[in-house]
Amino acid sequence: MRRRLRAALSLLLAAAVLAGCGGEARPAPSATVLPDGVSVRLVQLRSDVADRQAQVQVRNDSDDELFVGDVRVVDPRFARPASRPRERDTAVQPGGTVDIRVQLPPMDCATPDAGESSAIVPFALGEAISVAVVPLPEAVPFLADLHERECRAEALADAVVLGFSDFTPSSPGAPADLVLDIQPTGDAAARIEGIRTTNLLTFGVGAAAETFPLGVDVGTDSAPTTVRLPLVPLRCDAHAVQEDKRGTIFTLDVVVDGEPGEIELAASAELRGRILTWVAQWCGFGG
């Protein structure tokens, strides 16, 4: 089955991808549609966000077993098509649903936030073997926001490089210390308005505000600076730490080219591990 799917893919995939370039995600004329009873949609789970992934959800309401090959997602907002992290085929039983993970590519910031995705789906169902190019609706829209955030972050990077450089844990009841580095590039100006709490972390014992004010203006002659963030757990239920997906991904309110917006800034894997260990110990359920 893999060889048959590969043969169909090699014949039609290049034409399908080319049809999605140049700012339009259009089906290639030679591509077919999905069989009756087979549908697709794009889903992003919380566990996908940190790795910049999403999932093509394939539903098989036909009477036969469906085989799906190396799915691609074409979108004018993408610099290139999204594809499966590993080449493989997937079987979808009649009446079944399978989520096929795809790696999201960098965004093309020369295109608008609005756009429509198409799925390129090599498939085999019964005697039919082909490649479908079909509209791919989002179960919960997220691509427009992702495009806006990442392109704003790209524009912000012209003025300043942001990153979390260090973390000092604290004893229970006291705030820890998370260090935010602000490194101006000298090439442009921007303003860092504030940083928001996450679903797991907030700022200062007893803090009620969802945003910790920063008010840092960055100009072409600004010097590097650091901001020390007084971090405390927002919640202390053990499963919130054990199942954490976005607890160390912070949203920053920024102004770039006079336009307010937001970007996301994640702690590194090493810092994330130290923060989650501290939360467990601060809350009394760590080892």
Give the strand order in the sheet containing 259-266: 211-218, 190-196, 249-256, 259-266
**Opening angle at CA 231, ends 253 and 150, nearest 5:** 30
Q: Domains in the chain, ordered, with CATH?
A: 2-140 (2.60.40), 157-283 (2.60.40.10)
Please list the pLDDT of the chain residue by residue as tens digits (287 residues). Answer: 556 655 555 555 545 444 444 444 444 434 588 999 999 999 999 888 878 999 999 999 999 999 998 899 999 999 999 999 987 889 999 999 999 999 999 999 999 888 899 999 989 898 888 889 999 999 999 999 999 999 999 999 999 999 999 999 999 999 999 999 999 999 999 999 999 999 999 998 655 578 999 999 999 999 999 999 999 999 898 888 888 888 999 999 999 999 999 999 999 999 999 999 999 999 998 65
Q: Give Cα separations from 230 to 15, 92, 196, 205 (angstroms).
A: 54, 49, 12, 8
| 189 phi, psi to nearest 5 deg | -120, 155
Radius of gyration over alpha carbons of the chain, in Å? 23
Q: Distance of alpha carbon 257 from its chain centroid, rounded?
A: 24
- 273/279 Cα distance (integer angstroms): 10
Strand partners, 124: 67, 129
Contact 92, 66 (CB under 8 A): yes
Euclidean distance between CA atoms 248 and 226, whole angstroms: 18
Q: For 15, how many CA atoms within 13 A lie in the half-sphere containing its CB?
A: 14
Q: Residues 117, 42: contact at Cβ < 8 Å?
A: yes
